[in-house]
Structure 1
Amino acid sequence: MITEEELIKEKLALVEELGVHFECSDNLTPLASRIVVYLILTGIKGATFEELVEKLEASKSSISTNLQLLQSNGRITYYTKSGDRKRYFKITPDHIISRLDEKIDLWKKEMKNHQKILAYNQKVLQSKHANEGNHLNVQFSEQYIEFINKMIINLTQLKQNILTITNQNQ
């Protein structure tokens, strides 16, 4: 059985590893990306300011600045517990939905572009200028469009599942 200490070690290793991804993909500061990953791994229970300072080994002012940044851009939120003055930070569910919407829109644009490419390649295939490569281009475009369509369907389903789960927990 895995110990709590081993889980914490693995969590912190993931914070470092995945933090680099969020830093690059979301244009976040290194500490902000580490906070995001820590909160993702912590889940809906959230993490306190003190926990973030301790686990991420950063100064109070750096954690505070990055928490304010993440709150201002809608990535995180906080809640309080009755009788407890601490704030518990967590990932904003709405932000996850808007990120999925962005990804769906990107795939839809990708599909439109490849539908144009497919239409052109089909015209070339019917012309006297067609060669064996054009047939392969048509096949690739058809398969890629099918793949894109599946991605859109899967992302849409994931979005619906998240909305259902979030609505059940409110």
Structure 2
Amino acid sequence: MPSTLHIDEEIFQDMVRFYGETFNLPPLSAKIYSYLIFDFERKGICFDDFIQIFSASKSSVSANLNLLLNAELIRDFNTINGRKRLFMINDNYINIRFSAIINKMKQELLILDNLQKFRGCANETDVNRFLIYRQLLNKNIETIEETLDKI
């Protein structure tokens, strides 16, 4: 794979596997995303470079870039004097990803509360397990929110 960036092939392969599984990405999307992580200076990589680097068709690269853009994993931009569209990691993705996780946990808390009210369980063991799980969700929400405020 010819490269415009200095990459470590082993780390790259680990990242492709990890991000492919984590974000449920097709192989080329996982490769593009992982490759962009190595753009430490955030200069951006152009469309034509991806075609050359991954020996992929224009339509495949285009479809996978659009998938990553729609998922907000990457962003695109143009330089003032340049005609080419450049792609880079979306630095704001951490906030987007963890805000979505917080929302899911809050939704789960509402569902659990409604289920608990509906069930009206008097079994002490079940009530304690519910409370422990509820505390875990609340603690994780709080921890993530505090961390996002620091970032």
Give the TM-score, by structure 1 length.
Answer: 0.63
The Cα shift of 1:40 comes to: 3.9
- 1:13 paired residue number: 13
Report the CA distance shift for 1:75/1:105 in structure 2 as closer, same or farther (over 3 A).
Answer: same
Could you say which residue in structure 1 is the equivalent of 2:75?
77
Partner residue of 1:31? 28
Task: Report the Cα distance in structure 1 between the residues aligned to 2:14 and 2:53, rounded to whole angstroms.
Answer: 12
Structure number with higher relative contact order (C-alpha < 8 Å, ≥ 6 residues apart): 2
The residue number in structure 2 matching 1:58 is 56
Q: Deviations over 1:9-38 (max 9, x none)?
A: 1232123312431453xxx44322332233
Task: Quote the Cα distance in structure 1 between the aligned partners of 2:121 and 2:71.
Answer: 47
Greater CA deviation, 90-99 or 80-89? 80-89
Say if 2:98 and 2:144, in contact at 8 Å, map to a contact too.
yes
In structure 2, C-alpha distance between the alignment counterparts of 1:52 and 1:68, rounded to whole Å: 13
Report the aligned-residue RMSD. Answer: 3.3
The correspondence for 1:150, drawn from 134, 139, 143, is 139
In structure 1, what is the Cα distance between the partners aligned to 2:83 and 2:67? 21
Q: Letter of the aligned partner of 1:12 in structure 2?
A: F
Q: For 1:47 and 1:135, how far apart are their aligned partners in 2?
A: 57
| Inter-CA distance 154–141: structure 2 relative to 1 (3 Å threshold) | same
Cα pair 2:73 2:89 within 8 Å, conserved: yes
Aligned pair count reads: 146
* TM-score between the two structures when normalised by the length of structure 2: 0.70
Secondary structure (helix, strand or coil) at the match of 1:66 reads helix
Counterpart Cα distance in 1 of 2:29 and 2:128: 44
DSSP-derived class of the 2:56 partner: coil
1:124 aligned residue? 121
Aligned identity (percent) is 25
Paired with 1:48 and 1:58, the residues of 2 have a C-alpha distance of 15
Q: Counterpart in 2 of 1:165?
A: none
Q: Name stretches of at least 5 consecutive residues in structure 1 with no aligned partner.
A: 126-133, 163-170
Q: Which has the higher helix share?
A: 1
